[in-house]
Amino acid sequence: MDKFIIKGGRKLKGVVEISGSKNASLPILMATLLTDEPCVVSRVPDLRDIRTTIEILKELGKNVNYNNGVVTVRAKRKLKTAVSHDLVKQMRASFWVAGPLLARFKKAVIPLPGGCAIGVRPVDIHIKGFEKFGVKISMEKGNIVVKAKNLKPAKIILSFPSVGATLNLMMCASLINGTTVLENVAREPEVEDVIKALRSMGADIIIDEKGRIIIKGRAKLGGMNHTVIADRIETGTYILAAAATRGDVLLNNCAPEHNEILLDYLRDAGFNVEIDESSVRICCRSKKINPVNIKTAPFPGFATDLQAPWMSLMCLCAGSADVSEDIFENRFMHAPELIRMGANIVIDRNTAQIIGVKNFGPAVVMASDLRGGAALVIAGLCAKGKSEVERIYHIDRGYENMEKKLSALGASIKRFNPAA
Ligand code: EPZ
């Protein structure tokens, strides 16, 4: 298994180009199941989760080509409606093919999803929504089987603004005859990007003044030619890596408006943040990092996916700071590893109480999820000496060329495969 070997203690300096968004690319690729027409999706990052999604599309019967960030999806044969466990277990978002498959074939068989071990992560909100469309749900041999004689439009109030449920239900409704209204939906930029992609396929979707998603189902959707938005979580991670190492970094090709709350908190923490239409520059105002408390929340609140990298920064604050995780119930797995690197963190239920230390110390640590892994890399970049971050296959799920991008910013970070 690959690991990173990091010789930390260097300030990150320079320019980094931000990749396309993983969490927008995944559902947009799945939306290609809604049509037999050719679809071209550009700026798709080369990541493990993207490769898994491409394998799922191929398994279902699509012809998929991935070249230099451009994914071309064409019809090959009649689509299958079942996905194999081997693929689904690698990525929780695999369950999102249920909506498009249901819409087209009134049936889908999906193994219970896997993915990062950051909580129970049920799919009950998706299921309750499908039921309102007239879908019957059953469990057969570890698979969720969703079936309908006829799909009908519905008014659905989500019990929580789940990103995945919003996407799954919206994709399904785009081919259900009649008007579907989704309330209490996720408003993450990735959801808006999926709406844009669906509209380019001919879907009739609007967000009304109350923030509801209104979908007038079409009989058929066409192909798409869509360019994915910048990855706001990758953006935030590099911003936080630059801040923690007290560096000076310009991030290009990003969308600063998608990271507003993070940038505000960084200003409060004492950093200089300059924004342009599609770039952010972050640098230090003083050596001291002010403590800032955060609570994760659905967009436009503080992103749960940036909670772990933020925690690495706050471990170095002058004082004490609280980090509360209100989206996932088990998303502090990075904390014990940060403590092994010298951090002072006490976990009390969903809140991490952090007392800042001068710096991290080098250590051998293990990533146990994607964003937690990124937090350990940030700590390794700060610690003077040699650190190792093991199990970086988690990091490879969501960060394109991380070691190359960090090396270009002056970090000493190398990928090492002990078996090679
Ligand atoms: C998406 O996951 C993202 N994944 C996650 O990013 C992100 O952390 C999350 O949204 C929240 O922003 C992708 O886009 C591929 P949710 P998703 O449904 O859709 C509970 C990353 O690091 N819930 O909004 O799975 C759930 O357990 C990943 O890139 C239910 O209870 O998130 C969680 O506590 C990790 N029942 C909360 O809602 C349901 O049916 C938010 O989940 C669905 C969700």
pLDDT at 118: 41
Greatest alpha-carbon span in the chain: 64
Same domain, 175 and 237: no
Atom of ligand 1 nearest to the CA of 160: 38
pLDDT (tens digit per residue) in 222-274:
999 999 999 999 999 999 999 999 999 999 999 999 999 999 999 999 999 99
pLDDT at 114: 52
Query: Ligand 1 pocket: which residues have CB below 6 Å?
Result: 23, 26, 92-93, 116, 119-126, 160, 162-165, 186, 304-305, 327-328, 370-371, 398
Cα 163 to ligand 1 centroid, rounded to whole Å: 6
Retrieve residue 309's tokens: 């990298």
> Cis link prior to 300 (omega < 30° from 0)?
yes
Angle between helices 22-31 and 163-173 (to 10 degrees): 20
Give dist(CA 126, CA 115) in Å, integer: 17
Same domain, 103 and 199: yes
The helix/strand/coil state of 253 is: coil
Query: Candidates 25, 52, 158, 160: which one to mutate for ligand 1, based on the most atoms within 8 Å of Cβ?
Result: 160
Same domain, 15 and 61: no
Atom of ligand 1 nearest to the CA of 167: 19
Cα 92 to ligand 1 centroid, rounded to whole Å: 9
pLDDT at 46: 97
Q: What percent of the chain has pLDDT over 90?
A: 90
What residues make up the domain containing 330?
3-19+230-416
Closest C-alpha residue for ligand 1 atom 26: 121
Same domain, 35 and 10: no
Same domain, 137 and 217: yes
Q: Between 92 and 7, where is the model more confident? A: 7
Same domain, 46 and 154: yes
Same domain, 49 and 13: no
Cα 187 to ligand 1 centroid, rounded to whole Å: 13
* Strand partners for 365: 389
Atom of ligand 1 nearest to the CA of 190: 14
Give dist(CA 135, CA 131) in Å, integer: 5
Q: What is the mean pLDDT of the chain?
A: 95
Side-chain-side CA neighbours of 236 within 13 Å: the count stands at 30
pLDDT at 229: 98
Q: Between 21 and 121, where is the model more confident? A: 21
CATH code, domain carrying 110 = 3.65.10.10
Choosing from 179, 211, 227, the residue where a domain stops is 227
Closest C-alpha residue for ligand 1 atom 19: 164
pLDDT at 120: 52
* Strand partners for 386: 7
The helix/strand/coil state of 365 is: strand
* Nearest residue to 147 via CA among 136, 157, 139: 136
Pick from 89-98, 287-296, 317-326: least confident: 89-98
Query: Candidates 121, 168, 397: which one to mutate for ligand 1, based on the most atoms within 8 Å of Cβ?
Result: 121
Give dist(CA 29, CA 50) in Å, integer: 9
Cα 75 to ligand 1 centroid, rounded to whole Å: 30
Q: Which amino acid is at 384?
A: K
Cα 108 to ligand 1 centroid, rounded to whole Å: 21
Same domain, 152 and 181: yes
Query: Could you say which DSSP state residue 34 is in?
Result: G
pLDDT at 89: 85
Residue 122 — very low, low, confident or very high, per pLDDT cuts 50/70/90? confident
Q: How many domains does the chain have?
A: 2
pLDDT at 141: 86
Retrieve residue 22's tokens: 């993983």
Same domain, 299 and 393: yes
Same domain, 175 and 242: no
Same domain, 312 and 395: yes
Write 335-343 long-range contacts (CB < 8 A, 24+).
Answer: 335/311, 337/365, 337/366, 337/367, 337/368, 337/372, 337/376, 338/311, 338/312, 338/375, 338/376, 338/379, 340/365, 341/365, 341/376, 341/379, 341/380, 341/383, 341/387, 342/383, 343/315, 343/379
- Give exposure, 210-239, as e/b (b: 16+ Cβ within 10 Å): eebbbbbbbeebebbebbbbbbbbbbbbbb
Choosing from 201, 227, 253, the residue where a domain stops is 227
Retrieve residue 242's tokens: 């630059």
pLDDT at 116 over 50: no
Q: Between 307 and 121, where is the model more confident? A: 307
pLDDT (tens digit per residue) in 342-371:
999 999 999 999 999 999 999 999 999 999
Atom of ligand 1 nearest to the CA of 371: 22
Give dist(CA 245, CA 340) in Å, integer: 19
Closest C-alpha residue for ligand 1 atom 13: 23
Choosing from 188, 208, 227, the residue where a domain stops is 227
pLDDT at 64 over 80: yes
Same domain, 110 and 155: yes
Annotated active-site positions, please?
A: 116
CA dihedral 378, 379, 385, 386 (to 10 degrees): -70
Q: What is the separation of C-alpha 187 from the centre of its chain, rounded to a whole number of angstroms? A: 14
Cα 121 to ligand 1 centroid, rounded to whole Å: 7
